[in-house]
Amino acid sequence: MVSIHIRGLVKRFGEVVALNHLDLDIAAGELFFLLGPSGCGKTTLLRAIAGFHLPDAGTIKFDGDDVTKVAPHKRETGMMFQSYALWPHLNVFRNVAFGLEERRLAKPEIKRRVDEALAMVKMDGLGPRRINQLSGGQQQRVALARALVIRPRCLLLDEPLSNLDSKLRIEMRSEIRRICKEFGLTAIYVTHDQKEALSMADRMAILDAGNIAQIGTPEELYRRPRSAFVAGFVGETNLIPGTLTSVSGENYYIRTAVGELVGRVVSPDWQPAQGEAVTLSIRPECLSIDSDPPLQNPIAGRLTESIYLGETAQYALKCAGREEAVHISELNPRRVIRDTGAAFYATALPEDIVILPAS
């Protein structure tokens, strides 16, 4: 398994800059996620690593080897395509065997390894099936087996679960992670589904318009985002603009349209100055709602919406001086507040109010 090192990667499509001087290091054996909204460049980056895009500038190295200009068929990556790209004129066995045939392996060796790969994805015995006789989940497993059987230097997955129903998707998440870890694979996984990324990734990168917005473990990205973009993209959040008025120890006092709030700065390399404009990020599940004013961080407003979802109850609070409602999510609600129109207070602990650069 290889480590992957990307330096100054640029890819333009006409006027559009898909990758903008991008640097990235992925350790050997790591399950690394590329996450971002559509058009952020994540698929372009993956396809550049596979060799399908020749970058305009920059280098891609597998361990020490510079593979930037190596043709796709010599790059020894195993790619799983979003559409699976299983060849309908070949059966399951021949699809999986294809890469080994290209490597001129002996027939018995091919048979042994294909059977092994099919067993690994729990498709043993289905070798003679035709591709169009398979369900979506089975096709997905065959595509994975086809990518794995050649023992690639790294595994590349392009939204592999996006065509599956949600139940199967959750099942396949742990399946893919199990296989990657079992074989110590270096894998790069592109998705726009943040739950998929949070639940599977060792580390992940959030891409925004061809740039890496932040790299880190799922907890880091969720708990300690560095920008409003990251906070908003990974999970739900309330973004509230404000101005820093004073600092006392870890407590930063911010004046906002909904009142003065106390929060924390979580990034080690950014410190706001007094009077600087900032953005607060407060996750809905960090907020609680009550009819009595709290001691700290009160956000006053009128209840406009109350939705009961079983495991959570979601409330929307309309505050004076703010267009957007503040969203509150209460876990394990024992009693649902239904009196919309009435005045309520939302509040959060200072450690749950994250101060970010103004967006």
Partner 1 sequence: MSRTLAITVYAFTATFFALFFVFPIWHTVQEAFVTADGKITFAYFTELFRNPIYVEGLVNSFYMGLFTTILALLIALPLALISNTWEFRGKEILNALILVPLILPPFVGALGVRQFLGQAGVLNTFLTDLGLMDATTPFDWLGEGRLAGIVLMNALHLYPIAYLNISAALANLDPAMEEAAENMGCHGIRRLFRVTFPLIMPGLFAGATIIFIWAFTELGVPLVFDYDRVTSVQIFEGLKDLSGNPFPYALVVVMLVAAVFFYLIGKWFFGRDNFAGSGRASTGRSHRVASPLVGTCCAGIFTLVTAIAILPHLGVILLSLSNDWYGTILPTALTGQHYEDALGHPLTIHSIANSLKYSSLATGLDILLGIGIAYVVVRTRLPGRQLLDAMAMLPLAVPGLVLAFGYLAMTREGQLFDFLIIGEDPILILVIAYSVRRLPYVVRSAAAGFQQTSVSLEEAAQNLGSTPLRALRKITLPLIAANLIAGALLAFSFAMLEVSDSLILAEQQQHYPITKAIYALISSLGTGPNLASALGVWAMIFLAVTITGAGVILGRKMGALFRV
CB of 152 to partner 1, least distance (A): 9
**Minimum distance, C-beta of residue 250 to partner 1, in the bound complex (Å):** 47
146 forms part of the interface with partner 1 (CB under 8 A): yes
Residue 99 CB, shortest distance to partner 1, in Å, is 4
* Minimum distance from residue 64 beta carbon to partner 1 (Å): 22
Choice from 113, 137, 144, 158 touching partner 1 (CB under 8 A): 158
**Based on CB atoms, which residue is closest to partner 1, 159 or 285?**
159
SS3 240: strand
77 vs 256, beta carbon nearer partner 1: 77
Of residues 158 and 330, the one with the C-beta less far from partner 1: 158
Of residues 55 through 94, those in contact with partner 1 by CB under 8 A are 71-79, 81-90
* DSSP run (H or E) holding 139: helix 136-148
Q: For residue 99, state whether it binds partner 1 (rule: CB under 8 A).
A: yes
For residue 102, what is the DSSP state? H
Nearest-approach distance from CB 46 to partner 1, in angstroms: 11
- Is 262 in contact with 296 (CB distance < 8 Å)? yes
Name the residue nearer to partner 1 (CB basis): 39 or 232.
39
Crossing angle of the two packed helices 166-182 and 136-148, in degrees rounded to 10 = 20
Our CB check for partner 1 shows the closer of 132 and 274 to be 132
Quote the DSSP letter at residue 264: B
Question: Could you tell me how many residues of this chain bind partner 1 (CB under 8 A)?
Answer: 36
Q: Binding to partner 1 by residue 50, rule CB under 8 A?
A: yes
257 scored as a contact of partner 1 (CB under 8 A): no
Least distance (Å) between residue 73 CB and partner 1: 4
Q: Which stretch binds partner 1 (CB under 8 A): 17-25, 29-37, 146-154, 316-324?
A: 146-154
Are 36 and 45 in contact, with CB atoms under 8 Å apart?
A: no
Q: Can you say whether the dihedral through the CA atoms of 147, 149, 153, 154 is positive or negative?
A: positive
Q: Which amino acid is at 273?
A: A
Structure tokens at 236: 């739900």
Q: 222: closest CA among 287, 131, 286, 292?
A: 286
Burial of 248 (0-12, 13-18, 19+ CB in 10 A): exposed
* Smallest gap from residue 83 Cβ to partner 1 (A): 4
Nearest-angstrom CA–CA distance, 326 and 299 = 9
Cα dist from 143 to 68, 126, 137, 308, whole Å: 25, 13, 10, 40
| Shortest distance, position 98 Cβ to partner 1, whole Å | 5
Minimum gap (Å) between residue 162 Cβ and partner 1: 9
Map the footprint of partner 1 across residues 15-34, applying CB under 8 A.
Answer: none
Q: Does 308 sit near partner 1 (CB under 8 A)?
A: no
- 85 C-beta neighbours (distance < 10 Å), count: 13
Q: How many helices (H) and strands (E) does the chain have?
A: 8, 20
Choice from 3, 5, 70, 98 touching partner 1 (CB under 8 A): 98
The residue (of 67 and 147) whose beta carbon lies closer to partner 1 is 147
- List 41, 51, 272, 284, residue binding partner 1 (CB under 8 A): 51
Q: Site map for partner 1, 165-194, x if CB under 8 A?
A: ------------------------------
| Whole-angstrom distance, CA of residue 300 vs CA of residue 117 | 59
Question: In the bound complex, what is the minimum distance in angstroms from residue 227's beta carbon to partner 1?
Answer: 29
Q: Where are the beta strands (DSSP E) in the chain?
A: 4-13, 16-26, 31-35, 57-62, 65-66, 77-80, 154-158, 187-191, 203-208, 211-216, 238-248, 251-256, 259-263, 277-282, 288-290, 299-308, 312-318, 326-331, 343-347, 353-357
The binding site for partner 1 (CB under 8 A) comprises 43, 47, 50-52, 71-79, 81-90, 98-99, 102-103, 131-132, 146-147, 150, 158-159, 163
